[in-house]
Amino acid sequence: MSFNALPQSSMPLLMGNSLNAWSDALTGFAPMGLPLGLLVIAAIPLVFIALYALTYGVYGERKISAFMQDRLGPMEVGKWGILQTLADILKLLQKEDIVPTSADKFLFVIGPGVLFVGSFLAFAVLPFGPAFIGANLNVGLFYAIGIVALEVVGILAAGWGSNNKWALYGAVRSVAQIVSYEIPAAIALLCGAMMAGTLDMQEINVLQSGTWGFAHFFLFQSPIAWLPFLIYFIASLAETNRAPFDIPEAESELVAGYFTEYSGMKFAVIFLAEYGSMFMVSAIISIVFLGGWNSPLPNIGPLALNDMTTGPVWGAFWIIMKGFFFIFVQMWLRWTLPRLRVDQLMYLCWKVLTPFAFLSFVLTAIWMIYVP
Amino acid sequence: MAGQGSVRVTRKSDNVVIIEKDLATEEMVLSMGPQHPSTHGVLRLECRTDGEVVTEAEPYLGYLHRCFEKHCEHVDYQAIVPYTDRMDYLAGMNSEMAYAIAVEKLLDIEIPRRVEFIRVIVSELNRIASHLVAIGTYAIDLGAFTPFLFCFRDREHILNMLEWASGARMLYNYIWIGGLAYDVPSDFQKRVGEFVDYFRPKAVELSRLLTENEIFVKRTKGIGIMPADVAINYGWSGPMLRGSGVQWDLRRNDPYSIYPELDFAVPVPDGKFSDVGDCLSRHLVRALEIEESLKIIEQCIGKMPPAEGFDPRAAVPKRIRPKAGEVYARAENPRGELGFYILSDGKSTSPLRCKARSSCFVNLSAMKDLSKGQLIPDLVAIIGSIDIVLGEVDR
């Protein structure tokens, strides 16, 4: 399927009516031979991660958890405490940058960096709306699955470099967990890729657009799509070390896991990376199963809700909203469930999720071959 | 057969992990505490670990030692009461009551009936507060944060009421030898009744959020099993012993105060929901005891004698100088049997010797046995289920 197949009517003229209009224009912007446009493209996800982690990530999580726990949450700094995160960041910036004397200095310093780069690089192939994608790779989904594994290197570097027994435990647990959970996660995503017939992130989105809104989403296109959807969601919780799979940083067992020794800005970078990957997995699950930047609203007779809510800006709105919804579910689970044990976590991965992921893979294949 | 360097990890039926390996790996000594989030204060466990498996854990105590027993030999009998608050600081009323009972037994004095009722009400309220902390922190040990805050929200109401009665939130100095510091405020019974009505649905909510949670059950069922005979040999008491299936409650088995007049059950696990003697049983006993305490409080409110002409200090002796002799009195604390052994020489106004039998200390002594071959997360679950208060362990 080519881009021309996209119904022109669903793309109101806001700024160019072809796919990737904004990012293509930016790529071409290179005054005096300097690729400034590419820099802007790289900066957009960075600014987005920082802004969202500050507002929805930290402040939102604190307010949501407070709401669930009969508390008020931050209320002192600014109205309703909205400036609390800013104050926290300023505090972290002022902190002394401590490297433990017995730590492996090199690994200790690069650990948070590698961790953040791992989650940030995946943003390159996340389409923020039909008009913008960092790098329009034809193996975008594959790239996203693969590049996340870089986080493991960062975690191991941080845990080993700290020269702290708790950090080492956290790092070893984390590596075992992330590497294991990549298998069901990847197989579940393959089901989506199989339904699309492509690994191109923009094309997966395009294939899910149509005037019926949500009915075109892959989740509703096949009777078994909910299974890989569920498997990927569970596995993504484990990949981002979120509860109930937060055993690498289990604060009641391992003090703080692999970042026990970190403070100040390095700690903030680890936090940023965590929120970055939270949004990344949420965006991937919404792209592959819930239509990405497509509007979920259908056209109902003369009321063309779908057409009204489609376009480059609307696309960015929808994908960010879908991502935020899954982040909300992640927070909801975190503040509800206890933590699993290491062996139970591995049991869930290898004996439950992986077989069911294979099953859903086979069933999706059968569905794709025999049912038009 | 396994090849060279292979490791076989098996879990026996009683949940002890056995590691067999052809290639010897080094054991790591892991110092857990005194600054560790789940050692409930300043307990230190020196663990020998093989990967995630703890082959041996040795508890080290004394980081909170304040010479309680030596202090007692140098202050008057009345002045020891505030010290008992600081032993088990989560259940100050219960500790005060145990101490007061001991000295009253030594002096052989009669206590007004209303005093007994007020003592039972405040100590049962404090028992609920203490169990709420135990359950809440146990939830945190297992990674569930929200039940903890629910517990503390409800505990706050109890602390407010106890503050209303005594003027302090945790360290009350309310139960005096022979009486009370003050009578309860005039609306106290009404407010306590309101709290009981408010708290019943909250307890159900808590059990649905935590006790019936699949992950919670998975984490605690079959972990840290203590057979009844071993528990008795260790001298366990309170919810720990009842968790092992022994129906032993001093309020029933060695009654004191007005407990014989009250109708309440002594819950022990039946082995259907949990394996008898495991962490889940101990948690269940605490959760069920909250309901029994509510029952006791309700009965006490109904039966309490009127306040007319009541002087809470009527039987309080001005100067305590007991006859030469010794006494041991014990009471059922939220954490088990708290006993005071007091020796008087008949001349002094302070005891010659005052020994406290701490339930936490005795319960903790089984730690070494319980921790053998457990995973680190299970070790945390076991420490949490023992529900230690280091203020009482170290004294």
Distance CA B142, CA B135 (A): 11
Q: Is A165's Cβ below 8 Å from some Cβ in B?
A: yes
Give the tokens for residue A202: 């923009």
Task: State the smallest CA–CA distance between residue A172 and chain B in angstroms.
Answer: 10
Q: Is the pLDDT of residue B17 over 70?
A: no
Q: Is A351's Cβ below 8 Å from some Cβ in B?
A: no
Cβ proximity of B92 and B172 under 8 Å: yes
Q: Is B216's Cβ below 8 Å from some Cβ in A?
A: yes
pLDDT at B125: 92
Distance CA B256, CA B332 (A): 9
Q: Is the pLDDT of residue A140 over 50?
A: yes
Identify the band that residue B340 occupies on the pLDDT scale cut at 50, 70 and 90: very high
Identify the band that residue A130 occupies on the pLDDT scale cut at 50, 70 and 90: confident
Alpha helix segments (H runs only) across B26-184? 68-72, 81-85, 92-107, 113-141, 146-166
Identify the band that residue A11 occupies on the pLDDT scale cut at 50, 70 and 90: very low
Q: Is B208's Cβ below 8 Å from some Cβ in A?
A: no
For chain B, give every domain's residue range.
Answer: 68-394
Q: For A43, what's the count of Cα atoms within 13 Å in the CB-facing half-sphere? A: 8
Q: Which residue of A has its CA nearest to B153?
A: A70
**Beta carbons within 8 Å of A47's beta carbon, 6+ residues apart:** none
Cβ proximity of A251 and A150 under 8 Å: no
pTM here is 0.84
Cβ proximity of B144 and B283 under 8 Å: no
- What three-state secondary structure class fits B287? helix
Of B273, B300, B304, B302, residue with least CA distance to B288: B273
How many CB atoms sit inside 10 A of residue A30's CB? 13
pLDDT at B24: 66
Q: Is B28's Cβ below 8 Å from some Cβ in A?
A: yes
* DSSP letters spanning B332-391: EETTEEEEEEEEE-SS-SS-SEEEEE-HHHHHHTTHHHHHTTEEHHHHHHHHHHH---HH
Distance CA B248, CA B264 (A): 13
User: Taking CB atoms and an 8 Å limit, are B218 and A340 in contact across chains?
Assistant: yes
What percent of chain A has a predicted confidence (pLDDT) above 90?
A: 6
Give the tokens for residue B375: 């995973």
pLDDT at B6: 56
What are residue B326's DSSP bridge partners?
A: B343
On chain B, the residues whose CB falls within 8 A of the CB of A254 are 376
User: Taking CB atoms and an 8 Å limit, are B218 and A247 in contact across chains?
Assistant: no
| A3-7, A82-86, A182-186, B134-138: the lowest-pLDDT one | A3-7
Q: Which residue of A has its CA nearest to B384?
A: A252
What is the dihedral sign for C-alpha B13, B15, B18, B19?
positive
Identify the band that residue A3 occupies on the pLDDT scale cut at 50, 70 and 90: very low
Burial code of A132-171, b = ≥16 C-beta within 10 A, e = fewer?
bbbbbbeebbbbbbebbebbbbbbbbbbbbbbbbbbbbbb
Which of A51-55, A127-131, B248-252: highest mean pLDDT?
B248-252
pLDDT at A16: 46
Nearest by CB to A337, from B37, B38, B144: name it. Answer: B144
Residue indicated by tokens 């921790």: B371
User: What CATH number has the domain spanning B68-394?
Assistant: 1.10.645.10
pLDDT in tens, B285-311: 999 999 999 999 999 888 888 878 788
- Torsion-angle region of residue A129: left (phi > 0), alpha (psi -120 to 50) or beta? left
Q: CA angle, corner B52, sides to B49 and B56, nearest 5?
A: 30
Phi, psi of B347 (to 5 degrees): -110, -35
What percent of chain A has a predicted confidence (pLDDT) above 70?
A: 92
Q: Is B50's Cβ below 8 Å from some Cβ in A?
A: no
pLDDT at A125: 86
pLDDT at A239: 82
- What three-state secondary structure class fits B255? coil
Task: State the smallest CA–CA distance between residue B162 and chain A in angstroms.
Answer: 22
Burial code of B187-214, b = ≥16 C-beta within 10 A, e = fewer?
ebbebbeebbeebeeebeebbebbbebe
Identify the band that residue A5 occupies on the pLDDT scale cut at 50, 70 and 90: very low
Q: Is the pLDDT of residue B128 over 90?
A: yes
What percent of chain B has a predicted confidence (pLDDT) above 70?
A: 94
Give the tokens for residue A331: 């927070």
Nearest by CB to A252, from B143, B216, B378: name it. Answer: B143
pLDDT in tens, B62-72: 888 888 888 88
Give the tokens for residue A180: 């294991």
Mean pLDDT, to the nearest integer, of A286-296? 85
pLDDT at A14: 42
The burial class, CB within 10 Å (0-12 / 13-18 / 19+), for B55 is: middle
On chain A, the residues whose CB falls within 8 A of the CB of B378 are 341
Q: Is B375's Cβ below 8 Å from some Cβ in A?
A: yes
Mean pLDDT, to the nearest integer, of B339-361? 88
Distance CA B191, CA B157 (A): 10
On chain A, the residues whose CB falls within 8 A of the CB of B143 are 243-244, 246, 250, 252, 337-339
| A110-119, B33-42, B150-159: the lowest-pLDDT one | B33-42
Residue indicated by tokens 């077989």: A355
pLDDT at A18: 64
pLDDT at B14: 59
Identify the band that residue B22 occupies on the pLDDT scale cut at 50, 70 and 90: low
pLDDT at B1: 37
pLDDT in tens, A104-115: 888 888 888 898
User: Taking CB atoms and an 8 Å limit, are A339 and B139 in contact across chains?
Assistant: no
Identify the band that residue B13 occupies on the pLDDT scale cut at 50, 70 and 90: low
pLDDT at B2: 39
pLDDT at A2: 41
* Average pLDDT across chain B, whole number: 86
If one compares B8 and B159, the residue with the highest pLDDT of the two is B159
Task: State the smallest CA–CA distance between residue A254 and chain B in angstroms.
Answer: 8
How many CB atoms sit inside 10 A of residue A269's CB? 20
